[in-house]
């Protein structure tokens, strides 16, 4: 069991038949009245975000999320196939469970499969990936002085805002949590 007073970012717990992860939390102690914990929670099964207020003494069962390394093999229509890197077992997952998690993942990359009580409910891509820019407007001499960006399509089909000096064929590092360009490799 975990109390609301012990909430930290990333903590997972069970509530109302679902598993929630704390995205943001704030311990509030007003001048009058009892203290409370204001939270922003993400439902890990549906992806929905809710805001909820708890008393610091509220107790919830802690949820154990297993993260297993799986290799992304290929996509076939709305099914995505993953292989366990230890047992070589292949697992198909539907698009509804994956969402946009594979936006920056190409075939043969290793991702983390999120499992709770034997049920797969999502995928976590690597935090940073290096992808090739396959289409963008050409850069020009002197484009490095300003802070402006242009759209670039990477090899997975995703579009990223990049600085003007990035050209087609460049390899760039992307933060998959935010979808932002980090640097040219």
The tens digit of pLDDT for each residue in 148-176 reads 888 999 998 899 999 888 888 999 999 98
Q: What is the arithmetic mean of pLDDT over 37-52? A: 89
CA end-to-end distance (rounded Å), the chain: 45
Instruction: Enumerate the domain spans of the chain.
Output: 2-60, 66-124, 129-184
Considering only residues 100 and 11, tell me which one the structure prediction assigns the higher pLDDT. 11
Provide the CATH topology of domain 129-184.
OB fold (Dihydrolipoamide Acetyltransferase, E2P) (2.40.50)
Domain pair 66-124 / 129-184, same fold: yes
Per residue in 4-28, pLDDT (tens digit) is 989 988 888 999 888 898 989 999 9
Q: Is the pLDDT of residue 180 over 60?
A: yes
Question: Would you state the CATH architecture of domain 2-60?
Answer: Roll (2.30)
- Cα 49–chain centre separation: 14
pLDDT at site 139: 67
The CATH architecture assigned to 66-124 reads: Beta Barrel (2.40)
In this prediction, residues 22-40 reach a mean pLDDT of 91
Mean pLDDT calculated for residue range 22-42:
91
Q: According to DSSP H, which parts of the chain are helical?
A: 95-98
- CA dist 92 and 95 (Å) reads 10
More confident site: 173 or 145:
173
Q: What is the pLDDT of residue 47?
A: 77
Q: Kindly indicate the confidence band of residue 142, based on its pLDDT and cuts at 50, 70 and 90.
A: low
Residues 6+ apart with CB under 8 A from 134: 153, 154, 155, 168
pTM (2 d.p.): 0.71
Query: Quick check: 146 pLDDT over 60?
Result: yes
Q: What is residue 141's predicted lDDT score, i.e. its pLDDT? A: 61
What distance in Å separates the CA atoms of residue 9 and residue 5, rounded to the nearest whole number? Answer: 12
* % of residues, the chain, pLDDT over 70: 96
- pLDDT for the residue numbered 97: 78
């Amino acid at each position: 069991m975990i109390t609301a007073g012990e909430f930290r970012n990333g903590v997972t717990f069970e509530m109302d038949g679902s598993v929630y992860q704390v995205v943001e939390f704030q311990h509030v102690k007003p001048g009058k009245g009892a203290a409370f914990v204001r939270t922003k929670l993400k439902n890990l099964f549906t992806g929905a975000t809710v805001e909820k207020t708890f008393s610091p003494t509220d107790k919830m069962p802690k949820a154990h999320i297993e993260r297993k390394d799986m290799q992304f093999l290929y996509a076939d229509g709305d099914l995505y196939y993953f292989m366990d890197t230890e047992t070589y077992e292949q697992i198909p997952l539907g698009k509804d469970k994956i969402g946009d998690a594979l936006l920056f993942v190409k075939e043969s990359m290793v991702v983390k499969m999120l499992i709770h009580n034997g049920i797969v409910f999502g995928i976590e891509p690597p935090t940073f990936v290096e992808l090739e820019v396959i289409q963008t407007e050409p850069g020009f001499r002197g484009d490095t002085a300003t802070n402006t960006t242009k759209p670039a399509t990477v090899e997975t089909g995703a579009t990223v805002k990049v600085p003007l000096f990035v050209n087609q064929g460049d390899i760039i590092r992307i933060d998959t949590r935010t979808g932002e360009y980090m640097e040219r490799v």
